[in-house]
Amino acid sequence: MSISKYAVVKQHLLAAIKSGEYRPGDQLPTEDELCKLYNVSRTTIRQALQQLELEGRIRKIQGRGTFIADAKSEIVHHMLAPIVNFSELMEELGRRSETRLLSSSVVPAEPPFQSQLDIPEQSPVTKLVRLRLADDQPVAYETIYLPWSLAPGLSNEREIGSLFKLLKEKYGRPIDRSLDTLKPALADEAVAELLRIEPGAPCFHIRTVSYLADNTPIEYSESYFRADMSHFVIERRYDHR
C-alpha cells in the first residue's frame, strides 16, 4: 500500500524532532520553505502539520509561526477504533438515542477551525451545534464546522441524525477517516447547563478532524462529553513483522 505524501512529510518532520534537529521551542520553517524542502504542495504541508499539531508535537501561534512543543508537557495516547455513529452505539447498548440540532448557520472561517479545514479565512463554513442524548439524558454537546463548498445547503437541513450518513448519501462525501484528540476539561456555565451538570464538573473534551479519501478535511468539531456517563476503550494492534 502506497504512503500518502503528507504522511511521508510528517514522518520526516517527526524524525527530525526525535533526533534533536528540532528542539522544544524551535520554530519550524514556513510553509513555503517546507514546500521547497520536500518538493510538495502547500496542501500536503498543511496536512502534515495538522497531524503533528493534533498529536501535540507542534503548536501554532497566530501571527508568529509554528513551534516545536515541549515534549514533557503532555503524553499523547493514540486510539485505534472503527468509526461508529452515536445512534448505532446507543442501539448496541440498548439505549434510546436522540440528537437535537440547537442551531445551524453559515459563518466566516476563522482560527482555529479555518486552519484545520485548510480553507481560506473568511470563506463560508457551515456551523452546527448539537446535543446528544441517551434515554433523555444529555451525554455530549458538540460544535461542528464544515466547508460550505463541500456540502452546500447543509445549514438548511431541519434534522441531522447521522451527519456522516447524510454527507455520504446526499452530498456524495463519504468520510474515510477521523482523527480525535481527547483531553480532560471542566464544564463552564454554558456547557454545564446544556449537559445538566454542575459548573466545574469534569468532562472529556474531544477535537475531531474528519477526512475524505483524498485527504481533504471536511469536518472539524469540538465536543464535550459528560465524564460521569462516558468512558473510552482503547484498542491496540501490534505489528509483528
H or E, element range at 89: helix 86-92
Residue with cell 469534569: 202
Lowest mean pLDDT among 99-103, 116-120, 226-230, 232-236: 232-236
Q: Give the model confidence (pLDDT) of 8-47 as tens digits.
A: 898 899 888 888 899 888 999 999 999 999 999 888 898 8
- At residue 74, does pLDDT exceed 70? no
Say which amino acid occupies 81: A
Question: pLDDT exceeding 90 applies to what percent of the chain?
Answer: 39
Lowest mean pLDDT among 53-62, 97-106, 136-145, 209-218: 53-62
Tell me the β-bridge partners of 101: 130
Percentage helix, strand, coil for the chain under 3-state DSSP, each rounded to 5: 30, 30, 40
pLDDT at site 1: 40
pLDDT at site 90: 64
- At residue 221, does pLDDT exceed 70? yes
Question: pLDDT exceeding 70 applies to what percent of the chain?
Answer: 85
- At residue 181, does pLDDT exceed 70? yes
Cα end-to-end span (Å), the chain: 16
Mean pLDDT of 66-73: 74
Nearest to 109, CA basis, from 91, 95, 121, 98: 121
Q: Tell me how far apart the alpha carbons of residues 125 and 107 are, in angstroms, rounded to a whole number.
A: 5
Q: Give the model confidence (pLDDT) of 96-117 as tens digits.
A: 778 899 999 999 999 888 888 9
